[in-house]
Structure 1
Amino acid sequence: MKSKHSTADEAPLRADAALNRQRILEAAEALFLERGAEVSLDDIAKRANVGIGTLYRRFPTRDALLAATSDERLLSLVAASRARDGKMEPVASIRAFVKELVNHATHCRGLAAMLGTVLQEGTAGCRAGREEGHRLLQRAQVAGAVRSDVSIDDLICVVTAIALAVEQGGATKSRVTHLVDLFLDGIGTTR
């Protein structure tokens, strides 16, 4: 799904615009880690030493900015998942990917609650993350290990729920494996 906020197909940026974009991303990443995903966009613009209008021209919504700061991490998760192909059974592959998505969603406070929306953004990492989740899900379904009525949106809901439990202190990161296992065992075809 292509987002209206996608920058993938835009013309290359002028050098000054590219520098501003990079400064915004660096400031956003730092402030998201320090204060969480709800940090003021004005504070991000100030930290990046750009005007708020410059920030909004590049990233018209908070979700677009969160997606852009997540791109590299999501692309790395997808690359790691692809590298496991042939080395893991379908359910083990999807289990590993779901755990990694939960860990990504908890890397900064507040991202878990916005994960589903952020993954709808048209950035390369967001598209790749959704596509990889869908691919792994279909692979597990073809193998007969996961029910056919489970969708990628179901997986994202579960990732969000587990990440929120971790973020809000209801579960420790060490319980992520247990919670992911409970879900995947619950959607299995042999119950």
Structure 2
Amino acid sequence: MEGKLLIFSAPSGAGKTTIVKHLLEKFPQLEFSISACSRKPRDGEIHGKDYYFLTVEEFKEKIERGEFVEWEEVYPGSYYGTLWSELKRIWDKGHHVMFDVDVKGGLNLKKKFPKNSLAVFVKPPSIDELRKRLLKRGTETEETINVRIGKAQEELSFAPQFDYILTNNQVESAFVEAETVVRKFLFE
């Protein structure tokens, strides 16, 4: 049985992960879809909890075997995707799937599941604010921040293709707005 899919996408640093974590606490019928990626774990990240960490070779093998619902080479040599086994795991429990994915991945999921998904684009208040948020993380070099900002500018052009655009000016008000949108999608 297929449940519903909530798809949250945004440029890096827009706050989507914070909003998704909040929604997962608020709605027990939602379960996080753990993405697969080909990057190394960051400090504190756990395989099978935060991501399924794969080598590039493992990722490509799974692509060839058709194990991905969707996948994307987000940056050269850096793959992210959603495994079919992950959707099955969540739906078998009778839960709905919560995605925290990049913009192209979000649109790919929306196309695959047009009837039972809601795609939300989390938009930063501005590119300047996005740069400040990325700097504040302290995990990026100036070069990687510039790459992410360039990518964010491109990703913002896809926002109109999403079902809902949520501008994250202030996190508490973004939480309230996200809760309202999710409640309506799940229960009305």
TM-score (normalizing by structure 2): 0.31
Q: Which structure dedicates a bigger proportion of its chain to strand?
A: 2
**Which TM-score applies when normalising by structure 1?**
0.30
Structure with the larger RCO, 1 or 2 (CA within 8 Å, 6+ apart): 2
